[in-house]
Chain A
Amino acid sequence: MTHLDRLEATSVHILREAYREFKNLVMLWSIGKDSTVLLWLARKAFFGHVPFPLMHVDTHYKIPEMITYRDRMARDWHLDLIVGENRSALAAKQTFPDGKLTRVECCRSLKSEALKHTLSGEWPRLRLDPTSGRLEPEKKREGFSGAIVGARADEEGSRSKERYFSARDQQSEWDVGDQPPELWKQYKTDFAPGTHVRIHPLLDWTELNIWEYIDRENIPIIPLYFDRGDGTRYRSLGCYPCTSPVESTARTVPEIIEELRSGKFADIAERSGREQDKEDGGGLETLRRGGYM
């Protein structure tokens, strides 16, 4: 088995374990390369099917192409798509681009808070209607006790300490110091009522692995990751006010792999274009304890 085969088998095992143990399971989909690989791995695990809904938290500051791509993939792969948002904060213009919040506060409000209340079913959600092909308000909103997330350990310090199955309390808080053990493919799949679990099948993958796998499997990825003529491309996708493209002429997946392995990005952190990290002492820790992905 190659290292990609091993990574794939581990992720598939974790996904099946989650599906076996959690009755109301959801997968978070940020439209980026990692969670799209995660979605592909779900199709691997379940032989072409995705037997749980996908959830996207829309901050309304996403790069517009991301939304187009999201809706196209949802149709092509017959996905059960749920979309959530922080409607009141957006209506009151309580955001960083409106000058009312810092970047970190804005992330907390439009992402962490929106995610928490969308997962629990408290806030309004939209769900893709398979017959009309449109997003319709969801009438009966169930809460999810298991959320599959595409976090990778190599992204930054706090993520490197995550478990594959990571418990969160009712306030979505993470007790980093007292995490349950994981060994011999056995994870925390029993949990007290009111708590929920985040499942991280991509924990052992690196940015390079992600691209190698996209290349091997020929996964359709959003073109924002490629240079389309202006000598720049996105290396990490987020909201446009806080994410800048990097200078790069990589136009294909193999060119990105080469760039990461021995080229100009071999020793530059992936999230270097993400402004909120810098505000948070470089660790994302404050955000993550409060439920940031």
Chain B
Amino acid sequence: MKSPTPTEQISIVMAGHVDHGKSTVIGRLLAETGALPKGKLEQVRELCRRTAKPFEYAFLLDALKDEQAQGITIDAARCFFRTAKRPYILIDAPGHIEFLKNMITGASRAEAALLVIDAKEGIQENTKRHGYMLSMLGLRQLSVLVNKMDLIQYSRKGFETIRDEYRAFLGRLGIQPVSFIPVSGLSGANIAARSPETGWYEGPTVLEQIDAFHRKEFPETLPFRLPVQDIYKFTEQGDDRRVVAGTIETGTLSVGDAVVFQPSGKTSRIKSIEYFNGPVKQTASAGEAPGFTLDTQLYIKPGEWMVKQGQPPLQVGTRFRVNLFWMGHAPMIRDHAYKLKLGAVRSPVKLVEVLSVLDATELGTVANKQQVDRHDVAEVILETPKPVAFDVVGEIEQTGRLVIVDNFEIAGAGIILAGVTTRESTLQDHIRAREIAWKNSAISKSERTATYGHGAKFVVFTGADEAIGEGYARALERKLFTLNYKAYYLGLENVTRGLDADLRSEGDIRDDHIRRLGELARIFTDSGQIFITSLSNVDDYDLQTLTLLNSPHEILAIHIGENRFVEFPPNLTLAAGSLLEDGVDAVCDLLKQKNVILEYSI
């Protein structure tokens, strides 16, 4: 027997203010299309009979007990049904303000939206707020159902008043609804069948409208963007592939194409496109989640973007202006560390400035606020400690979206409006303030140098292997000590459990460890010592951070193995297999050249 052709399906979210009758409309839609599983309707009728409640279509969806008690949908529930044309996933989003995060979850999974307005109550706060959220989420395919038409005697004027007012509101958000439909969930008017009560209405029924919705198209013609989710090297059963994996957000890429990784700036060429149990692919496009192997061995990390050479790249920066919606119980405040997730990027992030807070229901700016409260929509400036790559929504919507994590939960969602070119980063601001406040010792640098017989220096060993770097660092400490120089080795592990024991595990705490190590280096070098440390997997920005934090004193970077730095070349590179002794001698040689020590051979 030949396999039947698979069927396409489309997901639609139901939005609107609480009690405007979303669940009733859905229940009616399910019943009238005969799409309910056989047991389902009887099951709910039976439950109503047992609990002596009149049957309501809404109960079909409110499958959970406490929801039925409250009579409101507390979460985005999916239901599955089909029309003659195709199957659907209908997502019932709650209309109560407390559950806005659930509405957002529902809407973000949908390809089209039905927004319900109570004909009698008219446009309410969440009618507008949901409209705003749909525009921010990028959901453009929207039909508005003016429900409970039976309560206003199917009045054309009542319908048109609501339609014109809401159309104007959506227009300001840049949304053009595909239709406004007068319906009644209770009587079934214009849900599946045209109602004789609304003879003046010539548009589609709800059923006709959903069948007319288009499937979401993947933006294949935009520049190629792959958030690098991971790099796999599974050696089991002799597999030697090194695979760059992720879900393509936009564009198309083919075998042989030259690619750039951002923000590292590394380049390579696509060797193959990997896909398990399928035909060999030469090209992969937006929406697909394949893997890629590269022509060259590159050291790249999850969180970078892979883009196609010759196409417009992402912007790279540390500050951006964001339109942000806040769902967290605690407000978003300044000087608090949050975590940013943008594509595959994970970075610490801070709120730098609240530019304005928008009233999502009136689209006007409210008071000059310094923080972003729950359910606020605000225009803010955010800053990451290291540069990240991003797009602005005006150019590529899919890769200009971010979420903010606070206290283990996604608390904010935003779209990047623009990159902000800054005069100086927060780190530079911090160092300037620190240095202005720094109280110099009564003993001068030259006095220390004269007495100790050597200058101060911060020596950092970097390389892929932690143990090797530590080996060199400890050997250098021993050598300098033997020569009567004041040298001290401190590894990150001695800081983690002590000085850094208070660091929360949220965000990228490695950045915080590095920051504190930099501050320690500033103190040690100020005391006239040669301060030595070793770090594995350090990138350009870590080195820049350490250099800045250690200023006004100087840093000496020694890298072991193949050089991966682009912007901050190390002062010395040791071959991976060098003898410990030779390596230490080479570092001492350099210290002598830099006039830190006078003599090093005994």
Contact = CB atoms under 8 A, between A and B. Distances in A.
A182 B101 CA distance: 8
A91 interface: no
B491 interface: no
Contacts of A6: 287
A215 B2 CA distance: 10
Nearest to A183: B108
A158 B410 contact: no
Given A43-B277, A153-B78, A283-B64, A184 B413 contact: yes
A206 interface: yes
B247 A9 contact: yes
Given A160-B78, A190-B409, A285 B64 contact: yes
A254 B3 CA distance: 5
A69 to B, nearest CB: 20
B245 A191 contact: no
Interface in A3-48: 3-6, 8-9, 12-13, 16-17, 19-20, 43-48
B339 interface: yes
Interface string B226-267: 000110101011010101011100000000000000000000
Interface stretch (B31-39, B313-321, B419-427): B31-39
Interface in A36-79: 43-49, 51, 78
Contact of B47 (A160, A179, A281): A281
Nearest to A20: B230
A268 B37 contact: yes
B104 interface: yes
A20 B302 contact: yes
Contact of A257 (B3, B64, B234, B239): B3
Contacts of A252: 1
A78 B9 contact: no
Contact of B291 (A8, A47, A191, A257): A47
Contact of B77 (A157, A188, A212, A272): A157
Interface residues of B, number: 72
Contacts of B408: 188, 190-192
Given A13-B247, A282-B47, A184 B75 contact: no
A181 B4 contact: no
Interface residues of A, number: 69
Contact of A78 (B7, B43, B63, B236): B236
Contacts of B39: 268-269, 272
A6 B109 CA distance: 12
B183 to A, nearest CB: 24
B74 A176 contact: yes
B239 A48 contact: yes
B247 A185 contact: yes
Given A43-B277, A154-B78, A4 B6 contact: yes
Contacts of A203: 78
B77 A161 contact: yes
Interface in A200-221: 203-204, 206, 208, 212, 215-217
A176 B94 CA distance: 13
B8 interface: yes
A177 B75 contact: yes
A158 B66 CA distance: 11
A132 interface: no
Given A3-B8, A47-B234, A161 B64 contact: yes
A267 B78 CA distance: 17
A190 B339 contact: yes
Contact of B37 (A8, A253, A267): A267
Contacts of B102: 179, 181
Interface string A79-112: 0000000000000000000000000000000000
Most buried by B among A153, A182, A192: A182
Given A16-B245, A206-B87, A157 B6 contact: no
Nearest to A257: B4
Nearest to B37: A269
A156 B80 CA distance: 11
B564 interface: no
B172 to A, nearest CB: 23
A194 to B, nearest CB: 11
Given A3-B6, A181-B105, A254-B4, A9 B289 contact: yes
A-B residue pairs, 10 tightest by C-beta: A157-B63, A183-B108, A181-B101, A161-B75, A49-B234, A9-B289, A12-B289, A190-B408, A153-B78, A269-B37
30 contacts: A5-B288, A6-B287, A9-B289, A12-B247, A13-B247, A16-B229, A16-B230, A20-B229, A43-B277, A45-B289, A49-B236, A78-B236, A160-B78, A160-B79, A161-B76, A161-B77, A177-B74, A182-B105, A182-B109, A183-B105, A183-B108, A206-B87, A208-B7, A212-B6, A216-B6, A254-B2, A269-B38, A269-B40, A283-B63, A283-B64
Given A5-B288, A51-B234, A255-B1, 13 more contacts: A9-B287, A12-B247, A47-B241, A47-B276, A154-B80, A158-B63, A184-B413, A186-B410, A204-B109, A261-B4, A267-B34, A268-B37, A282-B47
